[in-house]
Each structure stands twice: as C-alpha cells, then as structure tokens.
Chains A and B, each alone.
Chain A
C-alpha cells in the first residue's frame, strides 16, 4: 500500500468505513511516516477540540445593529423623506414623548399618564396645528407581571397583533385609557430594570416607543416582553408594532415579532 494520504484525515476523524480503517490499521505498523503523521494529527485535533469559545466582548455588534437601524429607516424611504422637512419641532415633540415615557416612568407610572398625553397634544399642536393629537399613542402604564405565563412564538405574535389593534383603537379615541386588559402593577424598580434590559439588548430603534412591558416566560425561560410602536417619525402615527422578548438573566434576545398597523 502506498502512503494513504487522502484517507488520513478521515482516519483521525474516525469516519472511515470499516474496510478502509482496517487497511490503514494494517499499513501503519510498517510505515513510520504515516504513523508519525497520524500521531501528530491526532495530537493537533485533540488540542483544537479543547479550544473553548470565549464570550463576545460587550459592544462588538452594537455598531452593526445601529447601521441596521439606519438602513431600515432608509428603506422606509419615501414616506420618511417626505416628512423630513417637518422634522424640527415635530421631532422634538416625538422626543418629548419618549423622554416623558422614560423619565415619567421613574417617578409615577400611572399618575403621569394623563399628563404625558397632554404634553404630546401640546407638542404637536405647537409644531403645526395637526388636529389629531398624538394619534395612536398608547401611554405606557407600567410593568405587567405574568411570571407564571409562558409565551411561545405564536403567543408573542398574538401580543403584537393585540397591540396593533390597541393602537388602531387609540387612533379612533385618543386619550388615556386602559389599552390592555392585563393588570398593570406600578413597580418602579422592576419597570426600570426591565426597560434597561430591553434597551441593553440593543434592538430598540430611535422611533420605537414603549407601550407595554410584560414580565413572563418565553418557552419556559424567564423573560421580559417589550412591546413598541414604531413609526416613520415626525408626526406620523406608528405603522408597526415590534415585540422584543429578552431573557431576564442576561437580556439576550429570545424572540421577536412584528405586526403592521393597518392605516387608519
């Protein structure tokens, strides 16, 4: 037998069929070269198989996700550009909404809701007299604790669909309301913890507005479910619901869902 070069990788991998393996086994004792090669290859393979994965350092993929967000906005394209001229004050109003949601959330979840809605109405009014004050804005009320409920992909999609319905309803009758039936608990600590976790996952876009936050399980894993309405910006009503499910322990993304909001 000449040196069976082409079989030695598979021999070391242990993937040769019985006949080939037997042929190599018969060849090796008489061939110093092949047996030395096999020994070296086995040692190398063993060393490589012991190399362990290291965790990805923080922030490696952040810039990628940011770029993805920018591209996504560009892909929205025409609609976005058409309203860019109004970006100044109107965008400021949108920022007020987000800031109010974030900061207000720290102070007083439920009590602040009517004020936030008022602020939004004032903002858009100043921006250009748009008649529909904050169309489709659902005031964020606080975290909903459903720790015993385990959602699956279909359940998450249902949450997205329900949120889209709620936004449509809010467009019809703006103002503070009980958008979701589930019991909201005003737990500042838990709410900000969950918000941080969703934010930390790096998925939240600049025009995403948190409208609902659920503490539950996803396929058995303790998770936060963040429901965001997402719009083209400016004064435009949201056109998408995006749901992010992140693990409670390390904020990694477990699942996502999205739902188009039918134009009103």
Chain B
C-alpha cells in the first residue's frame, strides 16, 4: 500500500513546528468543501468568497490552540458555518424571511422537474434554500449536500443529535414548500398541514413560507394556511 496522504492533524502539527507549506496544503485540501458550504449557506459567490477567507483566517489565527480534541474537519466546518452566520448577519440578510416578496430574487414557480435542466434546477434549489432559516439550512447542507453523518453535524453545529434530526426534517419540509413541492392531494385530507400543527416554535420554516408558497405555486393548494 502506498503511503497515505498526510492526515490533517499531522499537517497542523507540521505547520506549528515550522513547516509553512503544511498550511497551504491544508487550505488546498479543504478549500473546495469550505467554499461550497459557504456558497450554499449564503447563496452569493461574493459572500462565499468572503466567508471562505474569513473561515481560513480564523483557522490560521486559532491553529496554535487547536488541540485535536475534535477532528480538524469538524472544527473547520464549525468555523465555516460561523463565518457564514457572521456574514449573513453583517449583510442583514438574515431577516430575509421578514422581507416582502419583492426582495426575494427570482422566486419563480419552479418548472416541472421533468423539464428542468440540471443548472436551472440547482438554481431553484439554491433560491429555495435561502428561504429556509439558517439553523435549519446549515444542518441540511452539511447532511444532505455534503453527506456528513448526523453525529458529525451535531458536533459541528453544537446541538444534540435529536435537534439535528428535527431540524433536518423540518428544514426539508420548508425547502420542499419553498420549491413549490406540494403535498400532492394528501393535503385536502389533512387541512391543518404539517408544520403549523407539528413543529416546535422553531418550525419557522413552515409558517412564513406557506403564504408565499401559495403565491409561488399558484392555484394548486390554497388550503394550507399558518
């Protein structure tokens, strides 16, 4: 078996003991993951660029206090998510949900999936994702886009695993609604709709979305109200 590539933790050690190139290797290894996480979280290339730089600069500043209790990647993800939160807060894009419809960019009714080509589909998903509250969005991106296990996600965002499961489920429903994915006839048998009756107050994904979804999705399901 050929030598495996150096572990992240070894690269950290090498950097701290005077090997500058080791930090460059860490950045090189993880920049794609960090950038894409930031892009999904913020929805804008410009913000993703800033968040990526902020995250790596934080890592650089705090590397000497990294003790290796958590895996480096867990720590890096946490730093990245926090950089995104900070950035979103700074740009006052966090209260996106409270804004009027006019402020939501290009929220068109999504085309039927059959007709959508891959890029327009991912644009729609990305736009819809931005309407899901940040805490839910982060969990979904880490788990459903980046394929991290729920335990890892819990460690990254610092919540119990039960909270991860709940955010995951509520977030997915909110995303489906933002994408205009309806409940396909079942709703008429269950007029309350899922989130209004189901979730914790954290079911913010449900409430503000439904009115908007009714607009976006047209006449198909007007019955769901908060």
Contacts and interface: CB of A to CB of B under 8 A. Distances in A.
Given A3-B198, A51-B125, A258-B14, A152 B175 contact: no
Given A51-B125, A57-B45, A255-B5, A33 B190 contact: yes
A44 B60 contact: no
B10 to A, nearest CB: 10
A67 interface: yes
A40 B32 contact: no
A244 B166 CA distance: 45
A130 interface: no
A98 interface: no
Given A48-B125, A57-B49, A258-B14, A244 B165 contact: no
Contact of A9 (B145, B168, B186): B168
A44 B23 contact: no
Interface in B27-70: 27-28, 31-33, 35-36, 39-40, 45, 49, 52-53, 56-57, 60
Interface in B167-213: 168-169, 171-173, 175-177, 179, 181, 183-184, 186-187, 189-190, 192-194, 197-198
A256 B19 contact: yes
Nearest to B173: A40
In this complex, the member of A33, A43, A68, A201 whose beta carbon has the largest number of chain B beta carbons within 10 angstroms is A68
Contacts of A154: 3
B144 A53 contact: no
Given A48-B145, A49-B144, A152 B165 contact: no
A32 to B, nearest CB: 4
B122 interface: yes
B172 A44 contact: yes
Contact of A68 (B24, B33, B126): B24
Interface residues of A, number: 60
B89 interface: no
B129 to A, nearest CB: 8
A35 B186 contact: yes
Given A60-B35, A61-B31, A37 B194 contact: yes
A155 to B, nearest CB: 9
Nearest to B124: A47
Contacts of B181: 40, 43-44
A55 B18 contact: no
B96 interface: no
In this complex, the member of B28, B40, B165 whose beta carbon has the largest number of chain A beta carbons within 10 angstroms is B28
Interface of B: 2-3, 5-6, 14, 18-25, 27-28, 31-33, 35-36, 39-40, 45, 49, 52-53, 56-57, 60, 118, 121-122, 125-126, 129, 140-141, 144-145, 150, 162, 165-166, 168-169, 171-173, 175-177, 179, 181, 183-184, 186-187, 189-190, 192-194, 197-198
